[in-house]
Each structure stands twice: as structure tokens, then as C-alpha cells.
Structure 1
Amino acid sequence: MHREYLRKVHPARLNTLILTGELWTYLADLNEQAQERLDTIMEQIKIAEGVTEKLKCTRQMEWVRRCNNIHNRAEEIILHEIIYS
């Protein structure tokens, strides 16, 4: 996603990364940062909203619904913070 963003919005930056051979390490590092941030945000939201293992044991479908909702919101945050910046 970020590569496509660079292609459309910052083509000079993309060309520089390609020519210096840094594109794939740059994208891999960005992907790692995004995944770590996603995990952190999800855990913080789960705690704030009381999505616990107890809920998972007692009401599995509710837990799945809430976790999916949290995941989607966290992804949106990551897209705006890391991917499209």
C-alpha cells in the first residue's frame, strides 16, 4: 500500500529508494512498524472496552464481533498514521 502511495504522491522519493536499493528494506521496516503498532493499538482498545478472555469463554460470537471491530478501527488508524503519511 505504501509503495503505491509513494508511486502516486511522491514519485521522486520512490525513484530515489529504487535507485539506492533501499526500497524493499524501507517497506519491510514500515510493515514491521505497522504490525507492531496494530498489535499495540488493539491491546489498548481491548483493555479500554473490556474485551477479555472471560468474554471469549462465555460469549464467543460477541467476542469475535468486538475483536473484528477493534481490528478494523486499528487498521484505519495505522493507514492514516503510517501508510499514508
Structure 2
Amino acid sequence: MNINDLIAIVKKKLKTQIVLESILIEDKSFLHKDHAENQVGKFHLKISLVSKELKQMKRIDSDKKIYKILNEELNKHIHSIQILIK
């Protein structure tokens, strides 16, 4: 899977399962390119969300919700994610 397809899938899944005012997903894979655990075909994403729904939740609960929604992508295509909620 290429990064553009992955970003489109992640964006669609989050938009359909969380009330969002805005979403921005950035490829930050270059941050891991020299790490020993870096795997070809796995990406690092920075996900910036504006969501009243998530903001009202405890941080651990909002992160768990996002991880649950993206479980398949995390297992197959994502090395790590950075989540920013505003």
C-alpha cells in the first residue's frame, strides 16, 4: 500500500466513526528511516484532529477509540502514530 492510499483510508475511517470538525494527516515516516525497527511498507503518521467529541473524553479513552478504529491499519501498514487532539 502506498502512503496516499493509507492516508485516504485512515481519514475515511476516522470521519465516519468520530464527529470531526477537521482532520489533517501527515506522513512522518522519514523520522524512522534510520531506526533498527523500521520496516519497509510501514509508515509513521501524524494525525491532527479537531473534535468536540474526542475533547470531551479522557485522553486515554480518545486514544483507545482511535486505535480501535485503525486496528487493521496499525497491524498491517502503520509503524507508529502521533495523535494531536484540539
* Coarse TM-score class (shorter-chain normalised): 0.3 to 0.5
TM-score, with normalisation over the residues of structure 2?
Answer: 0.40
Q: TM-score, with normalisation over the residues of structure 1?
A: 0.40
Which of the two has greater helix per residue?
A: 1
The structure that has the greater radius of gyration is: 1
